[in-house]
């Protein structure tokens, strides 16, 4: 549960670890279409592709926090189930990324097994776009809760994406229109658990560095561990280049994925991130997180959008569908190959039809 009370039940995030400073935006202002807040959002998307979003203050934001709380409770209950039962619903990458991933199913950069488990719920399954997948009883009985989560999370992210349409020279509503609720996609709700570490010398990566594959992600976490590779990090980063993100009560963490980089011709950024052992005393507790990963409909093109925008560099790129992109990237990530295909944040001159230079 991302509220202050829930934070208070966990050891505190230490004050002496290097953290990345992220913008904290107000959903209330974005909901009211505040121009300055939308501008800050676009800037954060170009600079690092990550920002915090405070959800207090509107009925829509408060409802999202309630859904996140419910999702946390269900995450806890799902991961308490017997491993043998969970393994009956095992994910089958790269073709099928839904279902249960046990600790060790994925590789880290050095080939060693990862230390995270997750249950990945498919939006299509929950909304009835595809036949129901077999699932544990706890998922079956909470299908209505998950359905509400998917609907509401998309509503929140649609408001954020609509701040990006205009600066990218697109008609209002373009970016969210690539993820219609009724079309098959890789959109999912991922319920994650990282194991506690056994001793203070037992500190390592839990989930390999990656960029998210879809359009935009909304993450809720309470215990630290998520790390970002700052854009200034060298091409071959050292462990010490990674920076923790401090989890904040009442906030979601938002990050852009590869689709946004491709559509924008590299103007916005899909930043590398990973999960490492939580800092300080937080390493002793189990770390739960809830990630809603919005992806485009399977047949959507990942090519740059022309819209009203002209980007000065104009190299031809081949057509690739969201489905093929996700399959290719997922296969790499599972093997621990974390070199991103396109990360964005390009300093290109971008002219919109009105003749205004927005970024250079």
Ligand X SMILES: O=C(O)CCC(=O)C(=O)O
- Interacting residues with Fe ion (CB under 5 A): 212
213 binds, among ligand X, Fe ion, none (CB under 5 to 8 A by kind): none
Question: Which segment (3-11, 46-54, 102-110, 219-227) binds ligand X by CB under 6 A?
Answer: 219-227
* Residues 6 or more apart whose Cβ sits within 8 Å of residue 203: 197, 276, 277, 283
Q: Which of residues 178-217 bind ligand X (CB under 6 A)?
A: 190, 192, 212
Smallest separation (angstroms) from ligand X to the CB of 33: 29
Decide if residue 114 touches ligand X (CB under 6 A).
no
Residue 10 within binding range of ligand X, rule CB under 6 A: no
- Asked if 330 interacts with ligand X (CB under 6 A), we say no
Residue 159 binds to ligand X (criterion: CB under 6 A): no
Give 86 or 192: the residue with its C-beta nearer to ligand X: 192
| From the list ligand X, Fe ion, none, partner contacted by residue 289 (C-beta under 5 to 8 A by kind) | ligand X
Q: Which is nearer to ligand X, 156 or 290 (CB)?
A: 290
Structure tokens at 181: 């609720």
Query: Based on CB atoms, which residue is closest to ligand X, 26 or 75?
Result: 75
Asked if 226 touches ligand X (CB under 6 A), the answer is: yes
| Residue 48 near ligand X by CB under 6 A | no
Output the smallest distance, CB 255 to ligand X, in A.
8
Query: 26, 174, 205, 289: which one contacts ligand X (CB under 6 A)?
Result: 289
CB of 333 to Fe ion, least distance (A): 9
Cβ atoms 25, 51 nearer than 8 A: yes
3-state SS string over the chain? CCCHHHHHCCCCCCCCCCECCCCEEEHHHHHCCCHHHHHHHHHHHHHCCEEEEECCCCHHHHHHHHHHHHHHHHHHHHHCCCHHHHHCCECECCCECCEEECCCCCECCCCCECCEEEEEEEHHHHHCCCCCCCCCHHHHHCHHHHHHHHHHHHHHHHHHHHHHHHHHCCCCCHHHHCCCCCCCECCEEEEEEECCCCCCCCCCEEEEEECCCCCEEEEEECCCCEEECCCCCCCCCCHHHCEECCCCCCEEEEEECHHHHHHCCCCCECCCEEEECCCHHHHHCCEEEEEEEECCECCCECCCCCCCCEECCCCCCCCCEHHHHHHHHHHHHHCCCCCCCCCECCCCCEECCCCCEEEC
Residue nearest to Fe ion (CB): 212
Residue 192 binds which of ligand X, Fe ion, none (CB < 5-8 A, kind-dependent): ligand X
Of the candidate residues 53, 135, 163, 291, the single one contacting ligand X (CB under 6 A): 291
* Beta carbon of residue 189, minimum distance to ligand X (angstroms, whole number): 10
Nearest to 126 by CA among 95, 151, 154: 151
Q: Which of 273, 283, 304, 329 binds ligand X (CB under 6 A)?
A: 273
Q: Which is nearer to Fe ion, 37 or 212 (CB)?
A: 212
CB of 200: closest distance to ligand X in angstroms? 21
Residue 190 binds which of ligand X, Fe ion, none (CB < 5-8 A, kind-dependent)? ligand X
Verify binding: residue 20, ligand X, rule CB under 6 A: no
- C-beta of 41: minimal distance to ligand X in Å? 20
State phi, psi for 313 to the nearest 5 degrees. Answer: -80, 135
Task: Catalog residues that contact ligand X under the rule CB under 6 A.
Answer: 190, 192, 212, 219, 221, 226, 273, 275, 289, 291
């Amino acid at each position: 549960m991302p509220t202050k009370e829930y934070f208070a039940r966990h050891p505190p995030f230490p004050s002496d670890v290097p953290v990345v400073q992220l913008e904290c935006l107000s959903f209330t202002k974005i909901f009211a279409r505040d121009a300055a807040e939308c501008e800050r959002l676009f800037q954060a998307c170009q600079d690092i592709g990550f920002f915090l979003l405070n959800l207090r203050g509107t009925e829509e934001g408060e409802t999202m926090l309630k859904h996140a709380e419910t999702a946390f409770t269900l995450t806890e209950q799902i991961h308490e189930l017997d491993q043998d039962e969970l393994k009956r619903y095992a994910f089958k990458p790269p073709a099928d990324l839904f279902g249960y991933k046990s600790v060790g199913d994925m590789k880290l950069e050095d080939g060693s097994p990862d230390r995270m488990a997750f249950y990945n719920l498919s939006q299509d399954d929950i909304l009835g776009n595809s036949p129901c997948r077999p699932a544990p009883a706890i998922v079956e009985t909470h299908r209505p809760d998950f359905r509400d989560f998917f609907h509401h999370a998309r509503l929140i992210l649609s408001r954020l994406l609509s701040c990006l349409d205009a600066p990218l020279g697109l008609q209002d509503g373009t970016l969210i229109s690539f993820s219609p609720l009724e079309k098959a996609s890789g959109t999912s709700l991922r319920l994650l658990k990282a194991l506690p570490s056994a001793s203070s010398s037992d500190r390592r990566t839990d989930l390999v560095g990656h960029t998210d594959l879809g359009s935009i992600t909304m993450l809720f976490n309470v215990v630290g561990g998520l790390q970002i590779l700052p854009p200034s990090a060298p091409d071959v980063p050292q462990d010490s280049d990674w920076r923790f993100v401090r989890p904040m009560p009442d906030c979601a963490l938002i990050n852009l994925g590869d689709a946004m980089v491709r559509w924008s011709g590299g103007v916005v950024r899909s930043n590398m991130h990973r999960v490492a052992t939580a800092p300080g005393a937080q390493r002793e507790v189990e770390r739960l997180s809830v990630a809603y990963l919005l992806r485009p409909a399977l047949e959507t093109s990942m090519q740059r959008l022309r819209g009203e925008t002209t980007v000065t560099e104009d190299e031809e790129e081949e057509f690739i569908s969201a489905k093929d992109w996700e399959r290719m990237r997922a296969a790499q990530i599972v093997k621990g190959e974390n070199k991103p295909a396109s990360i964005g944040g390009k300093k290109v001159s971008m002219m919109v039809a009105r003749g205004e230079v927005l970024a250079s």
